[in-house]
Amino acid sequence: MTTLKLKAGMLRGAVLGLSLLLFPAVSPAQAKKPITREGLVKAVRINGLSTAELIQQIQTRGVSFQMTPDAESELRAAGARPEVIAAARSSYRPGAVVAGSGGGGRRGGKQPQPTATRRGPDYDELTDQATAAYDMRDASRATQLLQQAIQLSPQQPRAYQLLGFTQLYLQSNISEAERNMRRAIELGGSAAFRVFHDHMNGTFSQTCSGTLFVTRSNVTYRADDGRDTFEAADGLIKEIKTNKVSGGAFGMLLGGKNLGAFHLKVKFGGDSKNYNFAPLTNKKAESELIIALVKAYGGVQG
């Protein structure tokens, strides 16, 4: 049975994965730092980014390590999908050499003195600070920083996504969370939700935990161990509804795991399959938000 303490840790871990590990703050003059092996392993394990988003970051930033058999084994053990490993294998970038570190000072050459300048935090720094505030359960501080980031760069989706996440899980403000998650999706990002996935035909007697991602074009799910994963384009999603049997006496026997349960009916060729989920928070309102977003951007009429 998943305890409330464990669930809080999972939520903090997810938002940490969204910002700190893959989006370190860099100055405008610096190239984006390649992702380290440790950082990629942690990001995969935390499961805060969809497979597509993770691959995009790998291809944009590169990785600082070569895909040795040992590295591949470690990533697979963390739950990495084959696509993620393939992207990392083809995106190796040796670390950049720091200017002035080649021994010029020992030859007597003068080193240019850096100009002391004061500037405000950039977008990445603001979202990193907001993530730290979230980890400290300081919703007010996190919200303030993310609103600053949005003012600084209103066309980037990440701050909206983190703000919606903060409002949903720290403030229980469903309406504001929905507003910011919608904006994140509209800008090409995603809304991430921590959920149980049922393995026993809607009974929730056997489950795994993972993350459900809603975007403009699809819904994806990835279990924390990487074993249970699917992606459904909007056109394949024929129905999304709350389950008729959700909670009640039966739910109490399961420790409340099916509170707010809902299902996605996905059509694959001539077959269809139901995927049953329930929010880790056991809040039905969160399920209703997920359903609203999928319908709004996927055209599901069920």
What are the tens digits of pLDDT across the range 194-232?
A: 899 988 877 788 888 888 999 998 898 888 877 777 888
Mention every residue, 6+ apart, whose C-beta is less than 8 A from residue 74.
37, 41
Walk me through the domains of the chain, giving residue ranges and CATH numbers.
Answer: 4-94+122-186 (1.25.40), 191-298 (2.30.29.30)
For 296, the token pair is: 């709004």
In whole angstroms, what is the distance from residue 167 CA to residue 117 CA?
35
* pLDDT > 50? residue 16: yes
**Is 265's pLDDT higher than 60?**
yes
Q: What is the pLDDT of residue 284?
A: 87
| Mean of pLDDT over the chain | 78
Please, which residues have CB within 8 angstroms of residue 203's CB and are 6 or more apart in sequence? 254, 258
Q: Percentage of the chain surpassing pLDDT 70?
A: 73
- CA–CA gap between residue 146 and residue 166 (Å, rounded): 10
State the pLDDT at residue 127. Answer: 74
Q: What is the pLDDT of residue 98?
A: 38
Could you read off the pLDDT of 87-120 as tens digits, one per residue?
999 999 986 433 333 444 444 445 555 555 567 8
Whose CA is closest to 166, among 193, 142, 132, 194?
142
pTM confidence score = 0.70
Whether 28 shows a pLDDT value over 50: the answer reads no
pLDDT band for position 256 (50/70/90)?
Answer: low
Residue 239: Cβ within 10 Å count = 14
pLDDT digits over 130-182, tens only?
877 877 789 999 999 999 999 999 999 988 988 998 898 889 999 999 999 99
